[in-house]
Chains A and B, each alone.
Chain A
């Protein structure tokens, strides 16, 4: 059980974090105060061309020096700062969040590495070899705010009302299978992708092994991480359009495929067989964002809720209708998406 709310303004008009804080807080019954977080796209217009690397440090001596050595090896830090935080009575500051605006040097790892490859390498290197440092976001113009606390505490801790963007993703966590901790709070980010998730990916083991064969390493102790990496693999690396990538993650049942016309049947059979280890099983509702839009989907038998709404230029996706109505009291249209079928909102 967790709560999700997300919104995109398709015209890229900026929204500050006040409304999303209220919307997420209304679903406090879905969390337990051990994790909440927000992602916002368009947060750093002055550094839009740089990767905004977010790090949780346990202290600012050893781990920070080690991370900065890696960054210096792989590129240039244009600007860095401690992420401003503001003391909250019930939220213990267990880590020191820091952000770097970073430009990778494409020749740092050899000739074939792209900027993204360098970022993936960096995240893996830091998260597996530098104790006391965790990179939890690497996207351009994307800010992530997360901690172990209730939605309104985490929002106030980072003062998200001071940030603006055209996409917001927010998540209220009720950890069930792994402990609640800062790194385990959602959203999860990798490069341009951010994910919030309600449910559990029971195929985690299969998905993780599949991802490892492509060089991804899971370090966050939670199943949601695989959604971010699978999305990156299918959409960025394999260049599948969003609709197909989601179909690979939540494909039609075999008995439904059997009833399809031949062309469709052949295609869906091929997709299921090719991406069998990427298929996600178990109950889930997820929302995935990148700089071009947001998409929400549930598992094929609808074991977690998802509601969608449109109002003007905005598309909303949420666990509960009431949360949407906090942000937009009178949507033009509000509906329950079909299980296993994505709802996609793209910028215009």
Chain B
């Protein structure tokens, strides 16, 4: 089937008419939507449905990119601001650059790939249910409070580049579900309350492999060590880390 493409020039456009045009394009059966001259428009693709839809963003999208999105693939050829993939249901976001704070905030399904680094509180409140398991892959490093209050899903930090994969506090603070895999060293004092290191098994390696492959494919990376190196595996020390704090039972 021929791919049907539509280009929208978003220069100076507010996000409401922009999202209306995106929805109209999807309704018209367009499968590739190119957004040119994006700069700062928030909420792009929010709540959008459609498995076979690709959105290509040229420019810096504003916060909450693809929030509640279900199905489409979104490719950003720039940095992204705060919370791309916020409460996303399914689909994929590729960010050819960095992303701001609270990447994948409360994400419940789908995948987010960030080529470079992310800001603070990456993966905060991520969750999973039955076959829905959200995945975040970060190419370089993440800032403090990575995986804060995480309830499910997978966060992978590849530690490419010169900086350590994490060198700030609160990794997995309050985590009670889900897993983090970090290539490189994670000093114990950076672990947050409720987080603990676990063995990195062959099963873990197989589990994260397809996501690393997808990262490498999208961003044109050929680094075999990403597959062979050891990862620090971090998970919850308990499913209810604060049970004793708030409950009397």
Interface residues of chain A, those whose CB is within 8 Å of chain B, are: 26-27, 29, 253, 255-256, 259, 301-302, 305, 307, 320-323, 325-326, 334, 336, 338-339
What's the Cα separation between A312 and B42 when bound, in Å? 29
Residues in B144-203 with C-beta less than 8 Å from chain A: 144-145, 168-170, 189
Q: Chain A residues near B60 (CB, 8 Å)?
A: 321-322, 325
**Can you give 9 contacting A-B residue pairs, CB < 8 Å?**
A26-B39, A301-B144, A301-B170, A302-B143, A305-B100, A321-B79, A321-B81, A322-B40, A339-B143
Q: Chain B residues near A26 (CB, 8 Å)?
A: 39-40
What's the Cα separation between A334 and B116 when bound, in Å? 13
Q: Chain B residues near A323 (CB, 8 Å)?
A: 40
Once A and B bind, how many residue pairs between them come within 8 Å at the CB atom? 57
Residues in B76-132 with C-beta less than 8 Å from chain A: 79, 81-82, 98, 100-101, 117, 119-121
Check A326–B39 contact: CB distance below 8 A: yes
Q: Chain A residues near B101 (CB, 8 Å)?
A: 302, 305
Check B144–A302 contact: CB distance below 8 A: yes
- Say whether B62 faces chain A, with CB atoms less than 8 Å apart: yes
Considering only CB atoms and an 8 Å cut-off, how many residues of chain B contact the other chain?
A: 23
A305-B101, A334-B79 are contacts. A325–B143 as well, Cβ < 8 Å?
A: no
A302-B101, A302-B143, A336-B98 are contacts. A322–B62 as well, Cβ < 8 Å?
A: yes
What's the Cα separation between A253 and B144 when bound, in Å? 13
Check A27–B143 contact: CB distance below 8 A: no
User: Which chain B residue has the least Cβ–Cβ distance from A329?
Assistant: B39
Which of A255, A256, A322 has the most chain B CB atoms inside 10 A of its CB?
A: A322
Residues in B1-54 with C-beta less than 8 Å from chain A: 39-40, 42
A26-B39, A259-B189, A302-B101 are contacts. A320–B143 as well, Cβ < 8 Å?
A: no
What's the Cα separation between A302 and B170 when bound, in Å? 12
Check A336–B119 contact: CB distance below 8 A: yes
User: Which chain A residue has the least Cβ–Cβ distance from B42?
Assistant: A29
User: Which chain B residue has the least Cβ–Cβ distance from A335?
Assistant: B98
Check B119–A320 contact: CB distance below 8 A: no
Q: Chain B residues near A27 (CB, 8 Å)?
A: 40
Q: Chain B residues near A255 (CB, 8 Å)?
A: 189
Question: Distance (Å) between the CB of A341 and the closest chain B CB?
Answer: 11
* Cross-interface CB contact of B144 among A305, A307, A339, cutoff 8 Å: A339
What's the Cα separation between A29 and B63 when bound, in Å? 10
Question: Distance (Å) between the CB of A302 and the closest chain B CB?
Answer: 4
What's the Cα separation between A132 and B63 when bound, in Å? 41
Check B144–A320 contact: CB distance below 8 A: no
What's the Cα separation between A109 and B20 when bound, in Å? 65
Q: A320-B40, A326-B39 are in contact. List 17 more A-B contacts (CB 8 A).
A: A26-B40, A29-B42, A301-B145, A301-B170, A302-B101, A302-B143, A302-B144, A305-B81, A305-B101, A305-B119, A321-B60, A322-B39, A322-B81, A325-B40, A325-B60, A336-B100, A336-B143
